[in-house]
Amino acid sequence: MRIALGLSYRGCAYQGWQSQPGGATVQDRLEHALREFTGAPVRVMCAGRTDAGVHALQQVVHFDSPVRRAAQSWVRGLNTFLPADISVLWSREPGEDFHAQKSAQSRRYRYLLVQHPVRPALLHGLVGWTHHALDAQAMREAAAQLLGSHDFSAFRASSCQARSPCKTVHAIDIELAPDGRTWSFDFHANAFLHHMVRNIMGCLVAVGSAGRDPQWIGQVLRARQRSLAAPTFMPDGLYFAGPAYAAQWQIPESPRELPRLLA
């Protein structure tokens, strides 16, 4: 029986999503909880792997269960065996043809960035930080050049395992909160390359702080050379907002809002 789960997690304590020998990943912790709950080894597949320190508002996974449980039992039972910074939000039985990764039509990420002379101690690990004043219009002009289907090799990590660097970016929305110092960058694409959002963030901050002209990011994109782009930005403020699926799978829509403390 194929089961789909929605997860949220705080990535500070983990070496990313994907299982590693040391066991300090979100996948390792979830599979340990599944083994405890079902009494059998279970392997899971996620919608989008996250790096060390990256968080998730709604990660979607699927697995083939050796036992049958009520939907709410999957939630409460697994949360009993999970650490406090990982939670199962819901469970579904979407059918054997559902695949958390391959059935996803698009994915969203949000980057939360604080602009302040001093690093934000209480939100350490949960937000990115810059001491530079940022120009919203310049960053929006730069981001507009990334919309559509392109070869994103210039924003791809050397360790990226994606078969193709070509992705389609549907939207990049940049907003400054009323507090005048908290920025949100929302990315929507069919899929993302390894470090793609963080590499784009590095370039947008370089433009926003007047270090680069907005047209520079288009030149970097067309050159397809990672060495010409800005350094990879910190993972702290990056949130996997979740995937989108066709209605037939009956997967809950990913949340659009961050927790109130961060918003």
16: left (phi over 0), alpha (psi -120 to 50) or beta: left
Q: Phi/psi of residue 100, each to 5°?
A: -55, -40
The amino acid sitting at 223 is: A
Distance from CA of residue 53 to its chain's centroid? 11
Q: Are strands 106-115 and 128-130 parallel, antiparallel or unpaired?
A: parallel
Given the residues 28, 51, 135, 179, select the one marked as catalytic: 51
**Residue 109 pairs with which residues in a beta bridge?**
187, 240
Any catalytic annotation for residue 51? yes
In contact, 200 and 187? CB cutoff 8 Å: yes
Residues 6+ apart with CB under 8 A from 17: 25, 26, 27, 46, 49, 50, 59
- Active-site positions read 51
